[in-house]
Structure 1
Amino acid sequence: MFKRKILKEFENWKISGGKKKALVVKGMRQIGKTSSVLEFARSNYESVVYINFKENKNAKKVFEGDLNVSRITIDLSALFPNVHFVENKTVIVFDEIQECANARASIKPFMEDGRYDVICTGSLLGIKGYNRKKGKGVPTGFERIIYMKPMDFEEFLWAKGIDENVISYLKECFAKKEPVSEATHNAMLRYFKEYLCVGGFPYVVSRFVETNDMNVVWQEQQDILEEYKDDFGKHLDENENEEIDRTLLGRINRVFDSIPAQLAKENNKFVYSQLEKKGRSENYQTAIQWLYDCGIINICHNLTNIAEPLEGYKIENTFKIYVQDSGLFVAMLERGTAAKILCGDLGFYKDAIYENIIADCFSKQGRKLFYFRKESGLEIDFVENVGGELAIIEVKATTGRSKSTKTVLNNDNYAAKVCYKLSENNIGVAGKMVTLPYYMAMFLE
Structure 2
Amino acid sequence: MYLRRKIDDYLLAWRNREDKLPLIVKGARQIGKTESIFHFAQKNYENIVSINFVLEPKYKTILSDGYGVNEIIKNISLLDPSKKFIQGKTLIIFDELQEVPDIATSLKAFKLDGRFDVICSGSLLGINYKKIHSNSVGYKTDYEMFSMDFEEFLWAKGYTEIHIDNLLKHMQDGVPFSDTELAVYKKLFLDFCVLGGMPAVVKKYIETGTFSETLEIQRQIQLDYEEDIRKYAEGLDQTKIVSVYRNVPAQLAKENKKFQLSKIDKKARSREYMGCITWLEDAGVISICYCLNYPELPLKGNYDESKYKIYYPDTGLLIASLDEEAQEDLRANKNLGVYKGALYENFVAEAFIKQGLGLYYYKKESATLEEDFFVRTKDELVPVEVKANNNRSRSLRKLISSDSYSDIHWGIKLADSNVGIEDGICTFPYFCTFLLKKYLSGKS
1:268 aligns to 2:254 (yes or no): no
Report what 2:324 is aligned to: 335
Summarize deviations over 1:91-116 as a string: whole Å, max 9, x none. Answer: 11111111113322211211111111
Judge conservation of contact 1:255–1:288 (CA < 8 Å) in 2.
Answer: yes
Judge conservation of contact 1:64–1:102 (CA < 8 Å) in 2.
Answer: no
Report what 1:437 is aligned to: 429
Q: Structure 1 pair 348/341, CA: closer, same or farther in 2 (3 Å)?
A: closer
SS at match of 2:300: helix
Amino acid at match of 2:225: Y
- CA-atom RMSD in angstroms: 1.9
Amino acid at match of 2:56: N
SS at match of 1:260: helix
SS at match of 1:173: helix
164-173 vs 25-34, which deviates more? Answer: 164-173
Deviation at 1:44, TM superposition (A): 2.1
Deviation at 1:60, TM superposition (A): 1.3
Judge conservation of contact 1:22–1:111 (CA < 8 Å) in 2.
Answer: yes
Report what 2:298 is aligned to: 309
Deviation at 1:54, TM superposition (A): 0.9
Deviation at 1:388, TM superposition (A): 6.4
Judge conservation of contact 1:93–1:119 (CA < 8 Å) in 2.
Answer: yes
SS at match of 2:391: coil
Judge conservation of contact 2:101–2:129 (CA < 8 Å) in 1.
Answer: no
1:401 aligns to 2:388 (yes or no): no
Judge conservation of contact 1:46–1:89 (CA < 8 Å) in 2.
Answer: yes
Deviation at 1:152, TM superposition (A): 0.3
99-108 vs 8-17, which deviates more? Answer: 8-17
Judge conservation of contact 1:370–1:382 (CA < 8 Å) in 2.
Answer: yes
Deviation at 1:413, TM superposition (A): 2.3
Deviation at 1:400, TM superposition (A): 1.9
Report what 1:10 is aligned to: 11
1:413 aligns to 2:414 (yes or no): no
Judge conservation of contact 1:193–1:341 (CA < 8 Å) in 2.
Answer: no
Aligned 1:127-142 pairs, distance under 5 A: 127-128=127-128, 136-142=133-139
Aligned 1:342-381 pairs, distance under 5 A: 343-346=333-336, 348-375=338-365, 376-381=367-372
Using the alignment, how far apart are the partners of 1:425 and 1:160 within structure 2? 23
Summarize deviations over 1:280-325 as a string: whole Å, max 9, x none. Answer: 1111111101100000000000101221110131111110000111
Aligned 1:131-280 pairs, distance under 5 A: 136-237=133-234, 245=235, 247-280=236-269
Deviation at 1:340, TM superposition (A): 2.5
How many residues align? The count is 433
Report what 1:40 is aligned to: 40
Q: Structure 1 pair 17/284, CA: closer, same or farther in 2 (3 Å)?
A: farther
SS at match of 1:101: coil
Summarize deviations over 1:181-231 as a string: whole Å, max 9, x none. Answer: 111111101111111110011011101111233241111111111111111
SS at match of 1:214: coil
Deviation at 1:45, TM superposition (A): 2.0
Deviation at 1:166, TM superposition (A): 2.4
Judge conservation of contact 1:101–1:137 (CA < 8 Å) in 2.
Answer: no
Using the alignment, how far apart are the partners of 2:111 and 2:193 within structure 1? 42
SS at match of 1:372: strand
Deviation at 1:349, TM superposition (A): 1.1
SS at match of 1:283: helix
Judge conservation of contact 1:384–1:391 (CA < 8 Å) in 2.
Answer: yes
Aligned 1:54-65 pairs, distance under 5 A: 54-65=54-65
Which among 308, 313, 328 is matched to residue 324 of structure 1? Answer: 313
Q: Taking structure 2 as the reference length, what is the TM-score of the superposition?
A: 0.93
1:293 aligns to 2:285 (yes or no): no
SS at match of 1:207: helix
Judge conservation of contact 2:101–2:128 (CA < 8 Å) in 1.
Answer: no
Using the alignment, how far apart are the partners of 2:100 and 2:335 within structure 1? 48
